[in-house]
């Protein structure tokens, strides 16, 4: 299903997670990102339920949310080689500036 709202093309994505069917609407340009997010949540929830099949759906959903947030925080908290190099250069520049003041 596609739609037009305020000049933005919308699309609907239907999917199932933990036996529950959902349909979400998003901007057409966001469709691929949303599909990737859905797939990631499906994989995390399936893995949790496979490892601990006696969990209730609610428990599995909570653990899926926690695991997703943990992965996001790990990603956001990780520094890239570029960031490490930039921080190193900043420390060197600060040291040189402090040394030149003395």
pTM of the model: 0.67
pLDDT of the residue at 7? 56
The encoded tokens of residue 89 equal 């250069």
If you average pLDDT over residues 5-10, what whole number do you get? 71
pLDDT of the residue at 85? 86
What share of the chain in percent tops pLDDT 90? 60
pLDDT of the residue at 2? 47
Distance CA 56, CA 15 (A): 20
The encoded tokens of residue 4 equal 């037009």
Give me the chain's average pLDDT, please: 88
Place of tokens 């040189």: 96
CA distances to 13, 19, 32, 57, 80 from 45, rounded to whole Å, are: 19, 11, 20, 9, 28
């Amino acid at each position: 299903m596609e739609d037009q709202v305020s000049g933005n093309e919308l699309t609907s994505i239907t999917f199932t997670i933990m036996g529950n069917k959902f349909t979400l609407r998003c901007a057409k340009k966001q469709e691929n990102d949303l599909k990737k997010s859905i797939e990631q949540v499906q994989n995390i929830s399936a893995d949790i339920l496979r490892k601990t099949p006696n969990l209730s759906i609610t428990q599995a959903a909570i653990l899926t949310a926690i695991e997703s947030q943990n992965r996001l925080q790990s990603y956001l908290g990780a520094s890239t080689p570029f960031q490490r190099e930039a921080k190193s250069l900043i420390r060197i520049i600060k040291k040189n500036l402090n040394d030149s003041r003395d």
